[in-house]
Amino acid sequence: MNTEKRDFDKEAASWDENPGRVRIAKDVARAILRQVALTHDMDIMDFGCGTGLLSIELQLLVHSVTGIDSSQGMLDIFNSKISGMGLKNVGTLLVDLEKGDRLTGSYDLVVSSMTVHHIREIESLFDQFNDATVPDGHLYIADLDPDDGLFHSDNTGVFHFGFDRNNFRKVFIKAGFNNVRDVKAAEIMKPVGNGETRRFTLFLMTGRK
């Protein structure tokens, strides 16, 4: 497992050119919408928002979306989308937990897709998720089932090769979330070398504060 930090700034400009990423964002958005009724008075945090693929899928249905990421390059792309699309209810914040930044604000729903496996210490992150979630608010996390380190062609900055759902559920509960459930969110076929292709699955785990 390579524990160096991945340079997402360099990847930002071409990030959306990967059709698999775009499809995962749409699949995760659909999975979220099957689990919760979004309303126009809800404020959402999208943690690890990247170029805003998931945020943009959700923003029409809620009061506001705040996209949070540690990569200014990613946020620059997202901000250009916000401006180009004239989105008045979407904003971004640069937050780098490894530099000691902390999550701020208060949200009805905290979502995150394909980000937590890039976080070294997830228990402290989930404590911050709890702090940022209003009473009776929700936490929805989409990430990989165990992938044997094969999902990424380069494991730089990958601290977890997917998550066992039972263990992941315990992190939710320890952080103060209840009614924790999980569903299949997406799947994707990817080449893994030697001419082989493997099916990888993503789960959506949900909890309520």
Q: For 2-28, what is each residue's pLDDT tens digit?
A: 455 665 656 666 666 787 889 999 999
> What domains appear along the chain, each with residue ranges and CATH number?
8-203 (3.40.50.150)
pLDDT of residue 2: 47
Q: What is the structure's pLDDT at 6?
A: 61
Phi-psi sector, 100: left (phi>0), alpha (psi -120 to 50), beta: left
pTM, 2 dp: 0.93
- Contact, 170 vs 160, CB < 8 A? no
Helix and strand numbers, DSSP H then E, in the chain: 6, 7
Closest CA to 105 of 78, 72, 67, 141: 67
- Within the chain, which residues score under 50 in pLDDT? 1-2
